[in-house]
Amino acid sequence: MPHRPNRTVLLGLAALSLLVGAGVAWAATGRERSLAVYPAQHMPLRFDHAQHLEAGAECVTCHDAARTSQSPKDRNLPGHEECETCHDIDAARKGKPTDPPSSCTTCHPGFDPTVRMEPAKLLVPPANLRFSHQQHVEKKVDCTVCHGEMKDVQLATRQQLPKMATCFTCHDGNVASNTCKSCHPTEASGRLRLTFDSGLLRPMQGNPLGLDHGPRYEFNHGPRATVDRLTCQQCHSESYCQTCHDGMQKPLSVHPNDFITLHPVQARAGTTRCESCHRAQSFCVACHERTGVGMDADASLRPRNLKVHPDYQAWVEIIGPQHHGIAASRDIGSCISCHREESCTSCHSSLSTRRQVNPHPAGFAQACKRLAGANDRACLKCHTPESLAEKGCR
């Protein structure tokens, strides 16, 4: 009795085949053409480019209209008129022998004129590009430069349409323009149009700019956006970036789980990165107050087993290495994550009813008039115009 694999083995093999197939499909994306640039085609034809080239045909024999074409919307494919140069279609329709073969089924497999009068139609949508064949012909660009050698190609498909890397051999900024707008349609804003009926325009694997917008790109696009922001702005506006970076709603893919516990380490290491999304005085302070960390938090929320600052005497009263003024002068960013400006002015303002501690160093009065004369907005946070005049700062 032959051995029959059990159901678990069959399922495992099926899963493995799916994974292998997905891997092959993913690897092939580097050679694929973007549907947003070249929409899908349907070409129910039988044709052999290699055979026609061997017979002495040239590109312009069948595609003569391409020499004067100025738009991708032009249909530069041969019709019966071009085919009849060599194929006697009328004789074949009458049942006469022809050489080369010229019956309908020579090019339209499965077509039976007794069943229907017209063969299946070709669907070849125009490319979503700005392009002029005529301009390239006038520049003496050979057809094979963009479409490759056809001597081994039967029916040409989207695979014979040029990729951006091919275009960049000439469009290098010297021989021809290399700006995105040279070839790609734009919106009224001047940015590239990204959405088409056939797909979404996005850089694919193997693109010459090295901007593969694959599944992980949202996690590693930051460094590239930092060093090459102008390239990003060809497609994306600041408002597009702010949909994730405004700090109003945290995308679950940005921070790991339990990030609230871990975020102080990263905040201390790179506050600039945090501030690209979050404002310390509105986002950080408000959250810290709600959770009992901030100075103005409700007393019932404050933890009883945690201590942020040194003892009160060393932190407030005694001028020394642990004094809060020294810490603030070194890293005011850490202070403003929990304290608002009012926290400082409650003691360091001449308007305070709590206590008035002069924060200025010795000899500051000699420079106050010059500083206030340049910009007294900072002065008026703690002083009235009258008190500034009394001190000789006005």
What is residue 196's three-state secondary structure? Answer: strand
Are 21 and 105 in contact by the 8 Å Cβ rule? The answer is no
| Alpha-carbon gap, residue 321 to 108, rounded angstroms | 89
All residues at 6 or more sequence positions from 91 whose CB lies less than 8 Å from its CB, including other chains: 98, 102
The answer to whether residue 319 is domain-embedded is yes
Other C-beta atoms lying within 10 Å of the C-beta of residue 209:
13
Least Cα distance to 38 among 212, 141, 140, 158 occurs for: 158
Express each pLDDT in 142-185 by its tens digit. Answer: 999 999 999 999 999 999 999 999 999 999 999 999 999 999 99
All residues at 6 or more sequence positions from 125 whose CB lies less than 8 Å from its CB, including other chains: 39, 40, 41, 198
Please report the pLDDT score of residue 271 as a whole number: 64
> On the CB side of 49, how many CA atoms lie within 13 Å of its CA?
20
Express each pLDDT in 99-150 by its tens digit. Answer: 999 999 999 998 888 887 888 889 999 999 999 999 999 999 999 999 999 9
pLDDT at 23 over 80: no
Structurally, how many domains does the chain consist of? 1
Please report the pLDDT score of residue 292 as a whole number: 83
Please report the pLDDT score of residue 30 as a whole number: 54
Which H helix or E strand runs over 232? helix 229-232
Phi-psi region of 319 (alpha: psi -120 to 50; beta: other; left: phi over 0): beta
The answer to whether residue 67 is domain-embedded is no
Mean pLDDT computed over 13-35: 50
First to last CA, the chain: 108
Q: In percent, how much of the chain has pLDDT > 70?
A: 90
Q: For residue 313, what are the domain limits?
A: 259-361
The answer to whether residue 326 is domain-embedded is yes
| Alpha-carbon gap, residue 214 to 237, rounded angstroms | 20
Express each pLDDT in 233-269 by its tens digit. Answer: 999 998 888 888 776 766 667 777 788 888 888 887 7
Residue with tokens 């201590």: 307
DSSP annotation of 120: P
| Alpha-carbon gap, residue 129 to 34, rounded angstroms | 12
Q: Which two tokens stand for residue 252?
A: 């679950």
* Residue 6 banded pLDDT, cuts 50, 70, 90: very low
Q: What share of the chain is helix, strand, coil (3-state, %, to 5)?
A: 45, 0, 55
pLDDT at 79 over 80: yes
| Alpha-carbon gap, residue 172 to 287, rounded angstroms | 51
Mean pLDDT computed over 2-19: 42
Please report the pLDDT score of residue 308 as a whole number: 80
| Alpha-carbon gap, residue 293 to 193, rounded angstroms | 47
Express each pLDDT in 179-222 by its tens digit. Answer: 999 999 999 999 999 999 999 999 988 888 888 998 888 878 88
Are 203 and 29 in contact by the 8 Å Cβ rule? The answer is no
Q: Which two tokens stand for residue 133?
A: 């064949």
* Residue 14 banded pLDDT, cuts 50, 70, 90: very low
Please provide the DSSP assignment of 290-343 as one string.
HTT-STTS-GGGS-SS---S--HIIIIIS-STT-HHHHHHH-HHHHHTT--HHH
| Alpha-carbon gap, residue 32 to 159, rounded angstroms | 7
Are 277 and 243 in contact by the 8 Å Cβ rule? The answer is no
Which H helix or E strand runs over 386? helix 385-390
Please report the pLDDT score of residue 164 as a whole number: 92
Least Cα distance to 309 among 296, 291, 331, 327 occurs for: 327
Q: Which residues pair with 199 in a beta bridge?
A: 196
**By mean pLDDT, which of 149-153, 254-258, 323-327, 350-354 is the weakest?**
254-258
pTM: 0.61
Looking at residue 383, its amino acid is: H
The answer to whether residue 333 is domain-embedded is yes
Looking at residue 173, its amino acid is: G
The answer to whether residue 324 is domain-embedded is yes
Cα 86 to the chain's mean position, in Å?
50
The answer to whether residue 300 is domain-embedded is yes
pLDDT at 305 over 80: no
The answer to whether residue 305 is domain-embedded is yes
**By mean pLDDT, which of 8-17, 187-196, 306-315 is the weakest?**
8-17
The answer to whether residue 87 is domain-embedded is no
More confident of the two residues 337 and 87: 87
Looking at residue 102, its amino acid is: S
pLDDT at 1 over 60: no
Would you say how long the chain is, in residues?
394
| Alpha-carbon gap, residue 222 to 228, rounded angstroms | 10
Please report the pLDDT score of residue 12 as a whole number: 43
All residues at 6 or more sequence positions from 166 whose CB lies less than 8 Å from its CB, including other chains: 145, 146
Least Cα distance to 245 among 218, 217, 277 occurs for: 277
